[in-house]
Amino acid sequence: MTTTLPRKKKRAEAPSGRTLVSPSQLRTRGGKTLYVIVFVCTFVAFTIAFLFPLYWAVTGAMKTPAELAATPATLVPREWHPESFAEAWDQMNLGKYFLNTVVVAGGAWLVQLAVDVPAAFALSKLRPKFGNVVLGLMLVTLMLPAAALLVPTYVTVTDLPLLHLNLINSPTAIWLPAAANAFNIYLLKRFFDQIPDELIEAARLDGAGPVRTLWRIILPISRPILAVVSILTIVAAWKDFIWPLLVFPDTGKQTLSVMLQRVAIDMPLNLLVAGMVLASIPMIALFLVFQRQIFAGLTAGSIKG
Amino acid sequence: MPSPRPSDVLDWPAATPRAGRPVATAAERRRSRLRRKIKDNITAYSLLCAAILIFAMFSWYPIVRGVLLSFQQVDFVNPPTWVGFGNFARLFEDPLFGVAWRNTLLFTAFALVFGFAVPFLAAVLLNEIRHARAYFRLAVYLPVMLPPVVTALMWKWFYDPGPGLFNSALNAVGLPGGQWLDSSTTAMLSLVFVSTWANMGSTTLIYLAALQTIPGELYEAAELDGAGMWRRLRHVTFPQTRFVLLVLLLLQIVATMQVFTEPYVMTGGGPDDSTVTVLLLLYRYAFVYNDFGSASAMSLLLFVALGVFSAMYVRLTRRVDA
């Protein structure tokens, strides 16, 4: 896995390296045949297990409700009805829910960057007094299972301490708690730690203040980690279910996931499936474009790749 | 070795005698260093204040609040009253409480068997395959990207005993279909299956990354010593990935004990309460019965049950990075 963090330059160049099966064994005729058999089996198994369900959903959406309910199910639709996607869009008012979800995920992303990047920079490069205490208190929150904080955070969001604001039905109920993300701060801090201090000193000698240094020097060279953090944040916000379910009782404000679950019983199955496919497209597109960042995020900060 | 603080290093140019400028005295230098330190601290905390405020409001305060709520009765009309261990007593009297814990442990146990063994085997297999690597990675990770609600609704449809995908496929090859989600004996297992399908991509790729760091010489040496493939797997692959296996074991325990979306969307806890999980019951206490005290007591129990695993997970992953 190619993590994009600096200092980790020594990456395993395993793809061509020696693995469990010895290369000499693979070169024999029997070895070659066995390899082909294993390869084909794995290929077929992976395709059936992971891609076929998606094929089933996309084609299912284009079947008529009668065909969907018939047994045995058809592998290829007898009649194609691609217009069910448009119908689903209209009937479920998907445009509105897409917008809601984009606002929730986009806002969570911006607020997180705005809060976590300066914090990580301050902890890493300015190293204030008691900085380690602050970082430690933040990291402690990682040790709590998320579910354990569900109820008290909900209670807090309904009546913010001191301010006495009720954030229910407001996207801020998602944005603000999301920004309390110790994992992101930790990832960012670790990256900033590896930026040489000399660079910052040089900027300071040139008369740049800390904010300017952060903006003009640190952020441009931190693009890889910012990409990882951004993707992690957006994907998490798009996929989240239980928290949006709690904070958006107003059906018009809900995100796609919450809405789909709510209408699941009443919708004709073909339209529901069409809606599900449409709701997944942004994530799949994101995945295809940002694979590298997503795979890097998978191993960054967790386990040595 | 601690790296020099920027504030210390930065004194250097000011302290260097330059042409036409008097040499700074030691006292002046100390004063300027102190000034710089104070200024640095002020800047640092102004950059940190948003994060500290947000953590205080949405993390630290709720932790304290959660513990307090566990011992209180709250109805949001009257001021909260202290009830001691009353909330816990109420939970223990609820027959569903034991059921929920048993179901959750069952889910975690199944999820560990599948979600641990299957991805590991998949990763070992993928590590040997030299073609279409990108395709395999893409395929296995694709379900991870789907919103969990979509996955759950999709599988609910697949499991449909009538025209569902599974029974159609089974009937096509002449096998009888199953009741899947509609039978209390198979419902939980069916949920585990969905969860494994949806999440195995990340585990597989983490294992794969770990496998790729194993030095090839170890396999060569083992082979020279006459170790066959199984012994190489046991004595090289396993020990070399032991750490990652341990870390993911902890992660899986913590994650699966909090299962909610699948039972909530797919079965609602049924049939016959066979898929009521701890988090589903917690949700009911808080948002159906409006008993936030008992729900918090349940959170506290969940925390006690999982806190150790979480702490170990965080410690281990941080140690690797350091």
Which residues does chain B have within 8 Å of residue A256's beta carbon, measured at their own beta carbons?
A: 147
Which residues does chain B have within 8 Å of residue A46's beta carbon, measured at their own beta carbons?
A: 135-136, 139-140
Q: Using an 8 Å Cβ cutoff, are A129 and B39 in contact?
A: no
Chain A's closest residue to B124, CA to CA, is A20
Instruction: Tell me how many degrees the CA angle A19-B206-B211 measures, rounded to the nearest 5.
Output: 15
Q: Which residue has the higher pLDDT, A208 or A98?
A: A98
| Angstrom distance (rounded) from CA B118 to CA A181 | 31
Read off the pLDDT of each residue in A176-181 and give the average, rounded to a whole number: 93
A167-171, A190-194, B18-22: the lowest-pLDDT one: B18-22
pLDDT band for position A284 (50/70/90)? very high
Ramachandran class of B79: left when φ > 0, alpha when ψ lies in -120 to 50, beta otherwise: beta
CA distance B270 to chain A (A): 16
- pLDDT, residue B219, reads 87
pLDDT at A2 over 90: no
Ramachandran class of A93: left when φ > 0, alpha when ψ lies in -120 to 50, beta otherwise: left
| Angstrom distance (rounded) from CA A19 to CA A16 | 9
CA distance A61 to chain B (A): 11
pLDDT at A116 over 80: yes
Average pLDDT, chain B: 86
Query: What long-range pairs does A231-234 form, CB within 8 A, spacing at least 24?
Result: A231/A286, A231/A290, A231/A293, A231/A294, A231/A297, A232/A184, A232/A297, A233/A108, A233/A109, A233/A112, A233/A113, A233/A178, A233/A181, A233/A184, A234/A105, A234/A106, A234/A108, A234/A109, A234/A286
pLDDT at A305 over 50: no
Inter-chain CB proximity A115 and B51 less than 8 Å = yes
| Angstrom distance (rounded) from CA B103 to CA B269 | 10
Chain B's closest residue to A48, CA to CA, is B139
- pLDDT, residue A94, reads 94
| Angstrom distance (rounded) from CA A124 to CA A189 | 6
Read off the pLDDT of each residue in B276-295 and give the average, rounded to a whole number: 93
- pLDDT, residue A159, reads 85
Read off the pLDDT of each residue in B222-236 and give the average, rounded to a whole number: 85
Judge residue B207's burial from the number of C-beta atoms within 10 Å of its C-beta, 0-12 exposed, 13-18 middle, 19 or more buried: buried
Which residues does chain B have within 8 Å of residue A299's beta carbon, measured at their own beta carbons?
A: 205-206, 209
Interface predicted TM-score (ipTM)? 0.88
Nearest C-alpha neighbor of A183 from the set A150, A142, A143: A142
Indicate the residue of B150, B206, B311 with minimum beta-carbon distance to A143.
B311
DSSP state of B214: S
Read off the pLDDT of each residue in B266-283 and give the average, rounded to a whole number: 91
pLDDT at B143 over 90: yes
Write down the number of H helices and E strands in chain B.
15, 2
Indicate the residue of B13, B168, B209 with minimum beta-carbon distance to A72.
B168
pLDDT at B27 over 90: no
Indicate the residue of A21, A128, A180 with minimum beta-carbon distance to B40.
A128
pLDDT at B108 over 90: yes
pLDDT at A4 over 50: no
Q: Which residues contact A218 (CB under 8 A, 6 or more apart)?
A: A121, A125, A192, A195, A200
pLDDT band for position B2 (50/70/90)? very low
Residues 156-185 of chain B whose Cβ lies under 8 A from any Cβ of chain A: 157-158, 162-165, 167-168, 171-172
Nearest C-alpha neighbor of B187 from the set B280, B48, B294, B89: B280
Q: In this predicted model, what pLDDT tens digit does every residue of A225-283 receive, in sequence order?
A: 999 999 989 999 999 999 999 999 999 999 999 999 999 988 999 999 999 999 999 99
Q: Using an 8 Å Cβ cutoff, are B36 and B10 in contact?
A: yes
Read off the pLDDT of each residue in B162-166 and give the average, rounded to a whole number: 81
- pLDDT, residue B195, reads 93
pLDDT at B18 over 70: no
Interface test with A, best of B128, B145, B151, B291 (most A CBs within 10 A): B145
B11-20, B77-86, B126-135, B167-176: the lowest-pLDDT one: B11-20
Read off the pLDDT of each residue in B56-67 and give the average, rounded to a whole number: 93
pLDDT at A103 over 70: yes
| Angstrom distance (rounded) from CA B247 to CA B31 | 49
